[in-house]
Amino acid sequence: MRTHIKELRARYDLTQEDLAKKVGVRRETILFIEKGNYNPSLKLAHDIAKALQTTIDELFIFEE
């Protein structure tokens, strides 16, 4: 799974820590989601998408 979190963070000038504070998780969790090393729950994916003013579909790219 790939994500557009890094690009969207840059667009809104947010650091990983800022985004982590917005969605209520630890900074490392954002880091590992960005790297594709951790699959977030649907709720966290929704919260991140909301914080970055986008949708889950646009934020996460699922590859088969």
Q: Are 56 and 45 in contact (CB under 8 A)?
A: yes
CA distance 38 to 1: 9
Residues near another protein, by CB under 8 A:
17, 20-21, 24-29, 31-32, 35, 37-38, 40-41, 44
Q: Please say which residue, 11 or 35, places its beta carbon nearer to another protein.
A: 35
CA distance 47 to 45: 5
Q: Please say which residue, 39 or 55, places its beta carbon nearer to another protein.
A: 39
Q: Please, what is the minimum distance in Å from the beta carbon of residue 58 to another protein?
A: 22
Looking from the CA of 30 toward its CB, the CA atoms found within 13 Å total 24
Q: Please, what is the minimum distance in Å from the beta carbon of residue 21 to another protein?
A: 6
